[in-house]
């Protein structure tokens, strides 16, 4: 008789071994979030506001307008003859063409397409600059204050959404795909031919998923902090609790989706069916508050909505767990119900 190991511990440790021995899987789980974050970093980096491209048609006194605009760093100015200016406007190389039309008393014409937003904007900005240079006084003192404090920027909204999205897709793919693959290879059938407890197997799949998740979340959070200065305002224990509950809920959904499927194609289709609505309405990239009031209760009942709301509350607003009762209850309900149904309906052969 040998000293025997716990079956649950063995199931978990072997799932972990299989996971880290598969380089392709490692890339998709850990590399992909980094790529996503890098991509977003490029898209949302803090860049100077874009400069406006303006053409000045070469006529008498056009030099005065030219020098005014050239002195203003908001503009990229070129001086061209009439044909050249019109050609550049047609092809979109410039937003607007300025023609000096009155020489005695300086008068100018703006040539632009009113359906092009950047041309409309250019018309107003150029006009402000020209009028001010020629002595217009603004009766009201106006000062611009730029609002981009950490915590209130788009990237602060986005990062919790990305974590929520990873928890969802990781839970569904990481659990659902693995389970169906094991069913196809008859490994599930081999397991129930032993005295293994069915619940041990399911708990092992969920727990190992949780273990893979820890580095994934840490990578995203560290990258967000380093690249964008996104800080977690709430406490890390609360964040860990929300993430764990979210991961359990989506592992349960993954198990349920995979409980009957016999082919990788069918489980992929089912997972997309489950995930697509949440991708769209659960507030990953933009707030779901923009949807009509009548559908909001439905949206809030989705697990990803609850998870994203709870993550944002902790990360952005520094909320305590106690204030997240509704969201945490919804996630717990999904976890319990899906796990129970999966255990009941699960096909082992």
Please report, as ranges, the residues that interact with other proteins according to CB under 8 A. Answer: 1-2, 4-7, 9-11, 14, 17-18, 21-22, 185-187, 189-196, 349
User: Which residue number, 8 or 53, has a Cβ lying nearer to other proteins?
Assistant: 8
Spatial distance between the Cα atoms of 198 and 195, rounded to a whole number of angstroms? 9
User: Which residue number, 11 or 162, has a Cβ lying nearer to other proteins?
Assistant: 11
User: Which residue number, 47 or 349, has a Cβ lying nearer to other proteins?
Assistant: 349
User: Which residue number, 6 or 199, has a Cβ lying nearer to other proteins?
Assistant: 6
User: Which residue number, 168 or 179, has a Cβ lying nearer to other proteins?
Assistant: 179
CB of residue 6 to other proteins, shortest distance in Å: 7
User: Which residue number, 267 or 307, has a Cβ lying nearer to other proteins?
Assistant: 267
CB of residue 5 to other proteins, shortest distance in Å: 5
CB of residue 306 to other proteins, shortest distance in Å: 35
Torsion angle in degrees (nearest 10) through CA of 279, 280, 282, 286: 110
**What Cα–Cα distance (Å) separates residue 76 from each residue in 72, 80, 108, 120, 325?**
9, 13, 19, 16, 54
Q: Are 217 and 31 in contact (CB under 8 A)?
A: no
**CB neighbour list of residue 104: distance below 8 Å, 6 or more residues apart:** none
Which secondary structure element, helix H or strand E, spans residue 78, and what is its range? strand 75-80
Spatial distance between the Cα atoms of 1 and 143, rounded to a whole number of angstroms? 83
CB of residue 311 to other proteins, shortest distance in Å: 33
The token pair that represents 207 in the structure block: 């727990």
Strand-pair partners of 109: 99
Please identify which residue in the block is written with the tokens 């000062």: 143
CB of residue 13 to other proteins, shortest distance in Å: 8
**CB neighbour list of residue 250: distance below 8 Å, 6 or more residues apart:** 167, 168, 170, 171, 172, 175, 303
CB of residue 155 to other proteins, shortest distance in Å: 38
User: Which residue number, 19 or 154, has a Cβ lying nearer to other proteins?
Assistant: 19
CB of residue 15 to other proteins, shortest distance in Å: 9
């Amino acid at each position: 008789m040998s000293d025997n190991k716990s079956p649950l511990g063995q199931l978990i440790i072997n799932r972990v071994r299989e996971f880290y021995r598969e380089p392709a899987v490692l890339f998709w789980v850990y590399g992909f979030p980094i790529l996503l974050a890098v991509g977003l970093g490029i898209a949302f980096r803090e860049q100077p506001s874009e400069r406006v491209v303006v053409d000045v048609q070469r006529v008498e006194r056009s030099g005065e307008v030219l020098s005014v605009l050239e002195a203003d760093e908001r503009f990229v100015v070129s001086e061209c003859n009439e044909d050249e200016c019109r050609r550049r406007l047609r092809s979109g190389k410039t937003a607007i063409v300025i023609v000096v039309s009155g020489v005695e008393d300086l008068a100018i014409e703006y040539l632009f397409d009113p359906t092009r937003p950047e041309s409309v904007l250019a018309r107003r900005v150029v006009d402000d600059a020209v009028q001010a240079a020629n002595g217009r006084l603004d009766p009201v003192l106006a000062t611009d204050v730029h609002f981009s404090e950490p915590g209130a920027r788009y990237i602060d909204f986005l990062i919790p959404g990305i974590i929520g999205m990873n928890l969802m897709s990781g839970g569904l793919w990481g659990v659902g795909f693995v389970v169906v693959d094991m069913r196809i290879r008859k490994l599930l059938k081999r397991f129930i031919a032993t005295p293994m407890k069915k619940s041990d197997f399911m708990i092992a799949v969920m727990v190992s998923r949780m273990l893979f998740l820890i580095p994934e979340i840490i990578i995203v959070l560290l990258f967000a902090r380093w690249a964008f200065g996104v800080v977690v305002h709430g406490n890390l224990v609360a964040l860990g609790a929300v993430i764990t509950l979210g991961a359990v809920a989506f592992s349960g959904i993954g198990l349920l989706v995979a409980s009957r499927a016999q082919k990788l194609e069918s489980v992929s289709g089912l997972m997309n069916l489950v995930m697509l609505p949440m991708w769209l309405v659960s507030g990953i990239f933009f707030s779901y508050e923009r949807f009509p009031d009548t559908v909001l209760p439905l949206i809030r009942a989705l697990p990803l909505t609850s998870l994203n709301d709870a993550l944002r509350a902790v990360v952005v607003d520094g909320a305590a767990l106690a204030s997240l009762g509704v969201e945490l209850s919804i996630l717990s309900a999904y976890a319990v119900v899906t796990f129970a149904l999966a255990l009941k309906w699960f096909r082992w052969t």
